[in-house]
Amino acid sequence: MLLKDKVAVVTGASNGIGRAIVDVFIENGARVIGLDIVEIESWNPDFTMIKVDISNTADCERAYNEINTMADRIDVLVNCAGITRDAMTKKMSEEQFDQVIAVNVKGVWNLTRLIGPAMQANGSGSIINISSVVGVFGNVGQSNYAASKAAVIGMTKSWAKEFALKEGNVRVNAVAPGYTMTNMMNSVPAELLEKFRSSTMLGRLAEPIEIANSVLFLASDLSSYITGEVLNVNGGMRL
Ligand SMILES: NC(=O)c1ccc[n+]([C@@H]2O[C@H](COP(=O)([O-])OP(=O)(O)OC[C@H]3O[C@@H](n4cnc5c(N)ncnc54)[C@H](O)[C@@H]3O)[C@@H](O)[C@H]2O)c1
């Protein structure tokens, strides 16, 4: 019960890695408010869903007000929602570039600008931003996504400094997952998945629960002296 009686907000909660984070947080005693553009039915009294487009600043403000009617404090924020719009750079449209930046960068900023200062005022909190192996090493056909996930690392390090000021005591870290079997992988050709698998030291892709467990560690007091870090959870992958 690493998160007993904690309130956690998790974006991208309806699918994949976000959904695995919700499950592992609830198993560890948290009350979870899930934010996603796709609504799922609650299956547990400790889970509440709010439908929101994280790229829309006004919609995030509306969701934040709704959260405040449900909980008097937020202990953990996981910025997990993200998208890909892959193309080689010479073929990438402005729309593909802008969509990825809007969700993966502005979406993370939209919620953290509200929840980070509230945690700081409370004097505690843990924020975990989901970056990617691609934000650390880059990748062919993903210049927009790589830019967005590198930006997540920059924001993480800035907020680790900013929200610790005035005895804020808010820890901010990033997790950079390797390739993980979720819907996001549906559009990746099988031969490319095989290439990714063989470029890991462990010889396999990740399961969502393996990423979720690392997020649990950073959310909990087990990591009480870790902030401003990027935890690579990629089976020893080198792109
Ligand atoms: N799957 C991987 O291999 C992998 C690797 C590294 C990093 N990541 C990152 O992990 C995170 C989760 O990815 P996943 O693989 O679980 O993907 P996924 O597609 O299974 O889940 C993403 C979730 O985000 C939600 N979402 C998308 N746009 C949204 C918006 N505008 N507002 C609110 N919610 C929105 C989707 O509805 C979905 O539920 C993403 O940030 C992704 O970039 C994934």
- pLDDT tens-place string over residues 209-228: 999 999 999 999 999 999 99
Element (H, E) at 233: strand 230-233
- The CATH number assigned to the domain with range 7-233 reads 3.40.50.720
Q: Is there a catalytic annotation at residue 225? A: no
What pLDDT score does 238 carry?
A: 74
Residue ranges in the chain assigned as alpha helix (H): 16-27, 57-70, 94-101, 107-122, 133-137, 143-162, 190-198, 208-219
* Distance from the alpha carbon of residue 113 to the mean position of ligand 1, in angstroms: 20
What pLDDT score does 188 carry?
A: 87
CA 15 to ligand 1: nearest atom? 39
CA distance 68 to 48: 13
Tokens 């889970």 map to which residue? 47
Ligand 1 lined by 125 (C-beta under 6 Å): no
Tokens 């680790």 map to which residue? 160
Ligand 1 lined by 50 (C-beta under 6 Å): no
What pLDDT score does 122 carry?
A: 97
For the question of whether the overall pTM of this predicted structure is more than 0.95, the answer is: yes
Joined together, the tokens standing for residue 206 give 């990740």
What pLDDT score does 201 carry?
A: 95
C-alpha pair distances (Å), 121 with each of 57, 70, 94: 22, 18, 39
What pLDDT score does 239 carry?
A: 59
Ligand 1 lined by 209 (C-beta under 6 Å): no
What pLDDT score does 224 carry?
A: 98
Residues of the chain with pLDDT under 50: none
The preferred substitution site among 36, 133, 175 for testing ligand 1, maximizing ligand atoms within 8 Å of CB, is 36
What pLDDT score does 186 carry?
A: 86
